[in-house]
C-alpha cells in the first residue's frame, strides 16, 4: 500500500544556518544504511526528506533500519500522489479501506498540512472536505477530533503525501556533527550502551578493545566484534582497534601488590587509549563507568585512574544503576551478546580484594617499579584493526 517513508527531524530544526549541514549528514546515513536495497531514492521536498521504494515488500525492513538512524524523530509510511484534489480523495479512501481491513476502526480525524501555498484550498478547509468524503464513503465511521482510532495525515508539498502512522525513532543528532571519540569497548553490558548514548549526541565513534590472548579466548574477540557490528546499526561504520596488554599484566603481577592490579591496569589502558586517540585525531575518550558499581569505579578510583592522562573522558552512564543500563542494552539489541560467558582481560586478572580507595602517591610509587613507557610501546606494537 505504501510506497515511501516521510522522515521528520527533531533537534536539527534548532540549528539555524547549520541546519542544511545536519540534514545532509542524515541523508548520507540513510543512503549508507539502505545501500543493500535496490531502487531506493532519497530526496527532499520542501524541507522534509522522503525515502521512496519501488518494492513495497521491503518497507518493514527499511523502517527497521531507518528508525535506528540518529537525527530522525519520526517516520511515516506514506503514499505519494499528484497534487490533484480528486486523486488525493481517491487514494485517501483506498488507504481507509486498507486500514479497515487490518483493524477495527470506528473513528478518525483528518489533519492537513499545506506547505505549498499555491494549492487552492487551505489546510483546515481541505481537512473538512476530506472528512466529509470519508463519511460519505464509509457509513460505519465517524469523526472524533480528540481521541480517534486513526489519523489521516495529508501533507501538501510539490506532491501530496498521505499517511496514517507516525513511528517514533531514536532521535538525537546525526553522527559526525559533534566531533569524535574513542570508546573503550569491553565485552560487558555497560560500554556498548555508553557508545550508543554518546553517538546519539552526534559523535563519530571509534572503539578500542583490550585483551590478554591467550589468557582470553578468540571467542571473546568475536564477541566484541559482534558488539561493534550491533552498534554500527546506529553509529555507522566503526573502526575497532585491538591491543594485547598481557605483558602489562605480567609486569604488574611480578612487581606490584595484587590489590593494586585493577587500578594500575586501568591507568595503562587510559594511556594507551589516549595515544591511539591523539594519533588518529580523535577528540575524547568514552568509558562505560557507573559510579560505585565495581572497585575501579568508586570516586577515589576514578580520580587516580584519570590522573594518568590529560584527554577528557565522556561517561554517559556514570549516574545510571545496573538495571537502567541493562534496559537500554536490551532496547538497542546488545544485551544478549554482552552476557555471553567469555572472560575479558579485566575479569581474568582481577584481584580477590581490589583497592576501592586508592591513594595517588601510593599508585605512582607502585608504577616506579614498572617500565611504564616501555610496556606501553610493547602493547602498542600489538595494535590491530579488527
Binding-site residues from annotation for ATP: 184-185, 209-210, 266, 288, 297
Q: Which residue has the cell 549528514?
A: 25
Annotated binding site: 184-185, 209-210, 266, 288, 297
> Is cis: bond before 53, omega within 30 of 0?
no
Contact between 143 and 135 (Cβ < 8 Å): yes
Q: Specify whether the CB–CB gap between 221 and 213 falls below 8 A.
A: yes
The C-alpha angle 132, 133, 135, rounded to 5 degrees, equals 65
Rounded to whole angstroms, how far apart are CA atoms 110 and 27? 29
Question: From residue 326, how far is each of 190, 199, 277 by CA, in Å?
Answer: 8, 18, 28
Q: What's the DSSP call for residue 201?
A: B
Stated length of the chain: 386
Q: What ranges in the chain are assigned the alpha helix state H?
A: 19-33, 59-66, 85-102, 123-137, 190-199, 218-235, 246-255, 261-279, 299-306, 322-332, 335-338, 345-348, 360-367, 372-380
Amino acid at each position: 500500500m505504501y510506497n515511501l517513508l516521510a522522515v521528520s527531524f527533531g533537534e536539527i530544526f534548532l540549528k539555524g544556518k547549520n541546519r542544511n549541514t545536519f540534514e545532509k549528514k542524515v541523508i548520507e546515513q540513510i543512503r549508507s544504511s539502505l545501500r543493500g536495497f535496490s531502487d531506493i531514492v532519497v530526496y527532499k521536498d520542501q524541507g522534509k526528506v522522503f525515502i521512496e521504494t519501488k518494492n513495497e515488500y521491503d518497507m518493514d525492513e527499511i523502517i527497521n533500519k531507518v528508525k535506528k538512524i540518529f537525527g530522525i524523530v519520526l517516520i511515516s509510511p506514506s503514499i505519494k500522489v499528484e497534487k490533484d484534489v480528486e486523486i488525493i480523495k481517491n487514494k485517501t479512501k483506498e488507504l481507509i479501506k486498507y486500514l479497515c481491513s487490518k483493524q477495527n476502526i470506528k473513528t478518525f480525524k483528518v489533519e492537513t498540512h499545506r506547505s505549498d501555498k499555491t494549492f487552492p484550498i487551505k489546510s483546515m478547509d481541505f481537512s473538512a472536505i476530506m472528512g466529509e468524503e470519508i463519511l460519505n464513503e464509509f457509513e460505519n465511521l465517524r469523526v472524533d477530533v480528540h481521541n480517534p482510532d486513526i489519523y489521516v495525515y495529508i501533507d501538501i508539498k510539490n506532491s501530496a503525501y498521505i499517511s496514517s502512522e507516525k513511528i517514533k525513532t531514536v532521535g538525537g543528532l546525526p553522527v559526525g556533527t559533534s566531533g569524535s571519540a574513542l570508546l573503550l569497548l569491553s565485552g560487558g553490558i555497560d560500554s556498548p550502551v555508553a557508545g550508543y548514548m554518546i553517538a546519539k549526541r552526534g559523535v563519530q565513534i571509534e572503539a578500542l578493545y583490550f585483551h590478554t590472548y591467550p589468557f582470553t579466548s578468540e571467542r571473546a574477540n568475536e564477541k566484541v566484534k559482534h558488539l561493534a557490528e550491533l552498534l554500527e546499526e546506529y553509529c555507522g561504520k566503526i573502526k575497532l582497534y585491538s591491543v594485547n596488554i598481557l605483558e602489562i599484566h605480567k609486569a604488574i603481577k611480578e612487581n606490584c601488590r595484587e590489590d593494586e592490579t585493577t587500578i594500575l591496569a586501568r591507568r595503562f589502558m587510559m594511556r594507551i587509549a589516549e595515544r591511539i586517540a591523539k594519533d588518529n585525531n580523535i577528540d575524547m575518550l568514552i568509558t562505560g563507568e557507573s559510579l560505585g558499581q565495581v572497585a575501579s569505579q568508586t570516586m577515589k578510583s576514578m580520580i587516580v585512574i584519570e590522573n594518568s592522562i590529560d584527554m577528557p573522558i565522556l561517561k554517559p552512564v556514570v549516574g545510571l544503576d545496573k538495571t537502567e543500563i541493562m534496559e537500554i542494552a536490551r532496547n538497542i539489541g546488545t544485551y544478549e551478546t554482552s552476557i555471553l560467558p567469555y572472560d575479558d582481560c579485566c575479569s581474568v586478572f582481577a584481584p580477590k580484594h581490589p583497592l576501592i580507595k586508592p591513594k595517588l602517591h601510593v599508585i605512582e610509587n607502585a608504577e616506579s617499579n614498572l617500565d611504564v613507557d616501555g610496556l606501553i610501546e610493547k602493547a602498542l606494537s600489538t595494535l590491530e584493526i579488527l
